[in-house]
Amino acid sequence: MGTRAEELRNEIDATRGDLGETLDAIGDRVSPGRIVERRKNRITHGVRSVSDRLMGQAHDARSASSDVVHRAGDAVTDAPQSVRSAAQGAPLVVGGLAFGIGVLVAALIPPSDTEQEVGAQLAGAAEAVKSQLGDVAHEAVENLREPVQEAAERVKDTAKDAAQSVKGSAQEAAHDTATQAKDAVQQAKGA
């Protein structure tokens, strides 16, 4: 009798624990803040990965910087052959080289007044876009808040109903077990 009731209690406790973990996982999964954080991390990781592949990692850059000055003269004379051999069958390398050359040329030429003016306008436009993105993100959070709360309430109600059902089943099983034990005792006394 005690063993069956104890097993039911253990099952109820295990079910409660599982439901708690499930509710926590669902809350974490649908939390707007966590969604934004996961997407931000995914984008950051992708950008770093591409950056590392194109330009090498930071420790590679530090160790290579001391050699750059020494090899600069050699690189200029060997540049046409190096570009030709590196570019064959590697479009990503060609893109990286073109980007590097563009950065080098841009660094050597001071910006004109027109470029500075356009840069200031772009900075203003970027600020406006940033503001709009913030508004959109805030609106998305507000739009998701109510459905998430409703889903959490439904899950909570389902968990509560399941716990009540398990509790009722446990009480019925305990009652049946007690009745059977009582009948068995009465039969043993009568025999």
- pLDDT on residue 22: 81
Q: How many CA atoms lie within 13 A of 55 on its CB side?
A: 14
User: What are the tokens at 190?
Assistant: 């009568």
Closest CA to 72 of 112, 104, 120, 98: 104
Q: What is the pLDDT along the chain (191 residues), one digit of tens a residue?
A: 567 778 888 888 888 888 778 877 777 777 777 777 887 888 888 777 776 766 655 455 455 545 544 455 555 566 556 655 655 556 776 677 778 888 877 777 777 788 778 878 888 887 887 888 888 878 877 887 888 888 888 888 888 888 888 888 888 888 888 888 888 878 877 76
DSSP annotation of 110: P
The b/e string for 51-65 (b: 16+ C-beta within 10 A; e otherwise) is eeeeeeeeeeeeeee
Residue 144 DSSP one-character state? H
pTM above the 0.85 mark?
Answer: no
d(CA 72, CA 65): 11
Write down the H helix ranges in the chain: 2-30, 32-55, 58-87, 91-108, 113-190
pLDDT of res. 167:
84
CA proximity to 149, closest of 9, 20, 23, 16: 23
